[in-house]
A and B are shown apart, each in its own frame.
Chain A
Amino acid sequence: MTTDLTRLTADALATKLSSGEVSSVEATQAHLDRIAAVDGAVHAFLHVASDSALAEAADIDRRRAAGEEMHPLAGVPIAIKDVIVTKGMPTTSGSKILEGWVPPYDATVMTKLRAAGLVSIGKTNMDEFAMGSSTEHSAYGPTHNPWDLERIPGGSGGGSAAAVAAFEAPFALGSDTGGSIRQPAHVTGTVGLKPTYGGVSRYGAIALASSLDQIGPVSRTVLDSALLHDVIGGHDPRDSTSLTDAWPSFAEAVRNADVAGLRIGVIKELQGDGFQPGVMERFREALALLEGAGAIITEVELPSVEHAIAAYYLIMPAEASSNLAKFDSVRFGLRVNPKGGGTVEDVMSATREQGFGAEAKRRIILGTYALSAGYYDAYYGSAQKVRTLVQRDFAAAFANADVLVSPTAPTTAFKLGEKTGDPLSMYLNDIATIPANLAGIPGISVPAGLAAEDGLPVGIQFLAPAREDARLYGVAAALEALLEQKWGHTLLSQAPDLSPSEMNATDEGAV
């Protein structure tokens, strides 16, 4: 029975919790058991909060039994990307420099989750400070893709995506600076949405690049992402970049999904060269299904997109170089005392030398250089101009289309170790996701099926104008329904079971 509970969507589990058919302790225990069974192989979690999760679950059960009015999602377990600060749970952002740090405060999204009664079961793995597309830059070892443990789960939020894909949690929080929610969703057959910049508070999200970062939901179904987004979204006076808009119910947008008459603009620049045939095949098939359901498919051009990666890899490291300056051993985290002592500068240097991984150092150096006197205009200044051009391209494209569409990433999951020696090819993974961060617009990745050549998941990305996140939930939910109707099952039901017996058998070469 416990295995069954982990197979439920968050929405279905919430229904059983509300009706009293299942307790939160049972649901939480089921997921903790699943983690114990499979996470040795997947390594989605950096920290599993068994005790506090069961205590929170028991509290929810007690309050529900006492007749207290509860949020519909109260008692549902959730996994939290380790970039989000959590009172009482260690928070490392995937870095050795924060090993063992337990924050004295909660991120605003955590406060909202707790208020809604969601049960945090642990912190998920990620590339160090969200710098990467594979989780291989985590200081604590990579996460493995549940579809093929030899492959990457995407990044930086590979832990959250893998946890959800491996049924270790019904949904999770992620963060997306250049695709860190959407690209992992693409390679793990899950759903992930990057909200409009300012739609979800960044207070308590350890900053990579402040002008690009956004927290968002990761789940197995579009509805679950919408339900979670409804909880975490909205204005936060602690985040000056948080929008003051009143947001519509995203869950409502899912339930009212309809693509009839919807103008879907196919981004000309994000297909063809460099895109895996099996990815393009699923992409075109999805478009055909949408067209069959009444959507109007057109083509749009985003000419500046070809410069987007270059601009991104100046703006992001520039902001990161400044954001990561605070990790200096003085107030929190790792402290390395050089042999024979030294000045405070020596201690800071030794700490940062030992505490940061190679990719973090690479980006700090890149960003420091881009902001230096004499180079600022050529690098950071030019990149900001490209950013403006990308925004203008989107504005023009949205004049002729309600949503835009592209494959979420050029390829399916690559093998662990395949690209770690080649940062540029790793960076190119985010070619389709980065433009949305530069423009501050929302984007969602939904499963489109498996690529014929490797049998691995493929995602499709929809983009909408800023503040139109609801539109994404509508089109994504419609496509999800069309595809599942066609397949007769969910995509993740086709993923390997990962149960211990099966894995042992594989290990022993008995298959």
Chain B
Amino acid sequence: MAKLMDYDRALELFEPVLGFEVHIELSTKTKMFSDAPNYFGGEPNTNITPVDLGLPGSLPVVNGQAVRYAISLGLALGCSIAPTSRFARKNYFYPDLAKNYQISQSDEPIAFAGSVEVELPNGRMFTVPIERAHMEEDAGKLTHVGGATGRIQGAEYSLVDYNRAGVPLVEIVTDIIYGAEADAPELAKAYVSTIRDIVVGLGISEARMERGNLRCDANISLRRRTPEGEPPAPLGTRTETKNVNSLRSVERAIRYEIQRQAAILDDGGTITQETRHWHEDTGQTSAGRPKSDADDYRYFPEPDLLPVVPSAELIEELRAALPEAPAIRRRRLKAEWNFTDLEFQDLTNSGLVNEVIETVAAGAAPAAARKWWTGEIARTANAQGVDATTLVTPLQVAQLVALVDAGTLTDRLARQVLEGVIAGEGTPQQVVDARGLAVVSDDGALIAAIDEALQSQPDVLAKIRDGKVQAAGAVIGAVMKAMKGQADAARVRELVLERATALPE
């Protein structure tokens, strides 16, 4: 196990310098360069054409929808769109790469020089500089059989599934990110989360990290701090952590690498430039392939494809169709909903902003929508270890809130109804009907129960009549119990006071 330095101590000695490469699988109907379905589940090697297999004589054709998606993403990242961009071949031999070159973009990417506003959990706003976003094709998937680790080392043989070969990707590359300081891990998480929000907002990717739709390679190096007045130290050697499959892992992996690198540097060691693999289970990274800047991919312009020359009209059309940027949208919603900083931060961190938006759109008050999603629903999701969005729909939550607002349900009853909805018993109304959970709003039934309770506790009745209104609590409790909780306590209280005076001495 690697030696780690205390995080705060590491930050005292070193400045973390970051960089991210985020790959996004576009949800086009067909692949980047072939008409095979863009779907890589299912029977291996079925969603393939001669192009995806790199058969001799086959040629790529650019998927126009993928180009439009890439332009939209570039615009959402504040990038300039290249009037002419070009595909290039990245040459290297690997069995998951059918042609032994990947069609990517090299020095002429479709989008370049942008930035993304990211909000950190502590409320700090950070501008992440974007160097470029470029289009490329995914490789196939290797499965190494035999051997203990599932890695290629030690495997008896390997299987290749080319269903994923040619799936369209956009790779977003940041510039070097300075100034994150102690927020570096949170910035990493917030950046990837923002990218996810952007692509989901654009509707160009499923963006599910656990499925590999969105993959983050995190580059980090440490720069030793120098006393004030002295020139800054040169940048440190970086590592590139791969295989980071959740937002939480992004944050943890960065924190781990800062502590690991700091310990090595402080002991007088050097950092090896390499890829590192993140292990979710142990919360550590391990060394992968050494990587040098001298890796020679022999890039050259892809002669089988023409340059991509989007018209100014297309770019403007896509720009006009862009949804609101996540940071701006958050600011707007916070004001519209009249949430406190803390309330909004809480909601943002829960990742349920979209659910609340939709619940409000379905008629619920923002405060109620927030309360249900970040409260009872999030708790249940947590307990069940599932995503809150899989439990109920925003419409169901809005219906639940409406039932409470109408007085049909108390909060306590509503929680039971929610439980029924989550259990798949139907809409909130159906659960109310089936379980008979509605508030008893028939005053006659309530009065009968109140009269009985008052008459069975004459001392309490006397106190109420003497003006000791607090004494009513015991009667209210007895009535609520008799009504099995299906009564509005406020109404019961009103009626108790009324009956106490109305009843004959």
Q: A residues bordering B, Cβ < 8 Å?
A: 84-85, 91, 93, 98, 101, 103-105, 107, 202-207, 209-211, 237-241, 318-319, 321-322, 325-328, 330-332, 344-345, 348, 368, 371-373, 376, 380
- Say yes or no: is B160 at the interface (Cβ < 8 Å to chain A): yes
Question: Which residues of B in the span 77-130 have a Cβ within 8 Å of any Cβ on A?
Answer: 89, 91, 93, 95, 98-101
Interface of A is mostly: loop
Nearest CB on B from A325, distance (A): 4
A-B contact pairs, 19 of them (CB 8 A): A85-B57, A105-B50, A105-B55, A203-B58, A204-B58, A206-B57, A209-B303, A239-B59, A241-B305, A321-B298, A322-B101, A325-B91, A325-B93, A344-B158, A348-B93, A371-B91, A372-B298, A376-B298, A380-B300
Nearest CB on A from B96, distance (A): 9
Indicate if the CB atoms of A240 and B56 lie closer than 8 Å.
no
A499 to B180 alpha-carbon distance, docked (Å): 85
Chain A residues near B61: list those with CB within 8 A.
Answer: 237-240
Residue of B nearest to A211 (CB): B303
Please indicate which of the listed interface residues A91, A205, A237, A325 has the most CB atoms of chain B within 10 Å of its own CB.
A325
Residue of A nearest to B92 (CB): A325
A107 to B58 alpha-carbon distance, docked (Å): 8
Indicate if the CB atoms of B56 and A241 lie closer than 8 Å.
no
Question: Which residues of B in the span 330-375 have a Cβ within 8 Å of any Cβ on A?
Answer: none
A85 to B53 alpha-carbon distance, docked (Å): 15
Lowest 6 A-B CB distances belong to which pairs? A325-B100, A210-B303, A371-B298, A211-B303, A204-B57, A85-B57
Indicate if the CB atoms of B54 and A326 lie closer than 8 Å.
yes
Nearest CB on A from B38, distance (A): 18
- Say yes or no: is B6 at the interface (Cβ < 8 Å to chain A): no
Indicate if the CB atoms of B55 and A318 lie closer than 8 Å.
no
- Say yes or no: is B320 at the interface (Cβ < 8 Å to chain A): no
- Say yes or no: is B201 at the interface (Cβ < 8 Å to chain A): no
Nearest CB on B from A91, distance (A): 7
Chain B residues near A321: list those with CB within 8 A.
Answer: 91, 298
- Say yes or no: is B60 at the interface (Cβ < 8 Å to chain A): yes
Q: A107-B57, A205-B57, A344-B158 are in contact. Are A240 and B305 (CB under 8 A)?
A: yes
A209 to B57 alpha-carbon distance, docked (Å): 12
Chain B interface extent, by class: 20 to 34
Chain B residues near A202: list those with CB within 8 A.
Answer: 59
- Say yes or no: is B294 at the interface (Cβ < 8 Å to chain A): yes
- Say yes or no: is B230 at the interface (Cβ < 8 Å to chain A): no
Indicate if the CB atoms of A85 and B93 lie closer than 8 Å.
no
- Say yes or no: is B304 at the interface (Cβ < 8 Å to chain A): yes
A94 to B100 alpha-carbon distance, docked (Å): 21
Chain A residues near B304: list those with CB within 8 A.
Answer: 207, 210, 240-241
Q: A207-B57, A325-B99 are in contact. Are A368 and B303 (CB under 8 A)?
A: no
A368 to B300 alpha-carbon distance, docked (Å): 11
A59 to B238 alpha-carbon distance, docked (Å): 67
Indicate if the CB atoms of A91 and B56 lie closer than 8 Å.
yes
- Say yes or no: is B296 at the interface (Cβ < 8 Å to chain A): yes
Chain B residues near A327: list those with CB within 8 A.
Answer: 56
Q: A105-B55, A331-B53 are in contact. Are A376 and B306 (CB under 8 A)?
A: no
Question: Which residues of B in the span 19-67 have a Cβ within 8 Å of any Cβ on A?
Answer: 50, 53-62
Chain B residues near A239: list those with CB within 8 A.
Answer: 59, 61
A321 to B89 alpha-carbon distance, docked (Å): 12
Please indicate which of the listed interface residues B50, B55, B101 has the most CB atoms of chain A within 10 Å of its own CB.
B55
Indicate if the CB atoms of A330 and B300 lie closer than 8 Å.
no
Q: A325-B100, A326-B98, A373-B296 are in contact. Are A345 and B93 (CB under 8 A)?
A: yes
Indicate if the CB atoms of A319 and B303 lie closer than 8 Å.
yes
Nearest CB on A from B300, distance (A): 6
Q: A322-B89, A380-B300 are in contact. Are A103 and B100 (CB under 8 A)?
A: no
Indicate if the CB atoms of B55 and A241 lie closer than 8 Å.
no
A454 to B59 alpha-carbon distance, docked (Å): 44
Please indicate which of the listed interface residues A84, A238, A318, A348 has the most CB atoms of chain B within 10 Å of its own CB.
A238
Chain A residues near B99: list those with CB within 8 A.
Answer: 325-326
Indicate if the CB atoms of B56 and A326 lie closer than 8 Å.
yes
Chain A residues near B56: list those with CB within 8 A.
Answer: 85, 91, 93, 98, 101, 103, 206-207, 326-327, 332
Residue of B nearest to A92 (CB): B56
Nearest CB on A from B112, distance (A): 21
